[in-house]
Structure 1
Amino acid sequence: MARKIIWSLFLVFLSGQVALAQSTDIEQEITQLSQQKWQWMADKDADELAELFHDKAKFVHMGGTWGKDREVDIIRSGFIHYKKADVHEVMVEALNENTVILWNQITLLAVVGDNEVTTPFMVTEVYVKENSNWKLADLTFSKLLTRD
């Protein structure tokens, strides 16, 4: 009887460790994907971004909220050029094997229209897995208040 209990506890522990490892792997994968996204934005690689963005994705900026097609067009045209995102902090939480939220604290150097601006943001990214591929479903920029 004691053997069965010990064996059962071992299996529960082992399955918990496997689940934790899978969650960590997903979180690392999403962190890398987010970093790649920032590079594609800096490179104005609208084709790669169009593949990454979910068809129903929403993008929340200081100037408004819009969908995938408008975001891709804005990047392709250069109206917003995400020149460089200095990432200061990354937090990731896998809600399950198909949904992950990532938060980046960044300083973004961007060109908006004809103006180059540097802005501190907390950026929220929501990724969903669709047909074995991760898709960015939401990208929200929240401007951080800074102390002078």
Structure 2
Amino acid sequence: MKLSILALLAFLMSTQVSSAQTKNANTDGLDAMQEMSLLSKKKWDWMSEKNVDSLSALFHEKAVFVHMGGSMSREQELNTIKSGGIHYKKAEIQNVTVNIIDHTAIVLSKIRLLAVVGGNEVTNPFVVTEVYVKQNDKWMLGSLSFTRLLGN
């Protein structure tokens, strides 16, 4: 009888420990998703402000950027922002989803982007795909791709 009670107590304690570990894992995942949403928003703010120093720290050295007219390297993107070749004036973020896979975060944002491109102000609806990699406990942007949506 004592053995049965001890076995039951051990079972109940292991269930509580397992439940606590699951809650922590879910909280950590939620925190990472919130962190990535905020980091993505900061990135849009830095792009609008032409804050090349902050963007330079965020963009991985091997990052690639895909625009409607072609692709750019990290240095090309930073130089384009710095020179005003593209001025990301305002990104109206309509929806964001974040998927975390190991040390990779995929952020999909539906935005309405007001930008100045080649001296012309344009507004376009996009789905933007941002891929971040975590290195040394720091998220770095590895890829940013714009997909223009049809219609408004």
TM-score by length of 2: 0.91
AA of the residue aligned to 2:35: E
| Long gaps (5+) in structure 1 | none
Counterpart residue number, 1:118: 123
Counterpart residue number, 2:4: none
Runs ≥4 in structure 1, deviation > 6 angstroms? none
SS at match of 1:75: helix
Q: 2:61 & 2:147 partners in 1: Cα distance? A: 22
| Aligned pairs, number | 146
| Long gaps (5+) in structure 2 | 1-6
1:27 to 22, 33, 38: 33
Counterpart residue number, 1:137: 142
Give deviations 1:42-79, integer Å, cap 9, x for gaps. Answer: 01111111111001111111011121011001101100
The Cα of 1:2 is off from its aligned counterpart by 2.0
Counterpart residue number, 1:95: 101
The Cα of 1:133 is off from its aligned counterpart by 1.6
RMSD across aligned positions (CA): 1.1
AA of the residue aligned to 1:136: L
Q: State the percentage of identical aligned residues.
A: 45
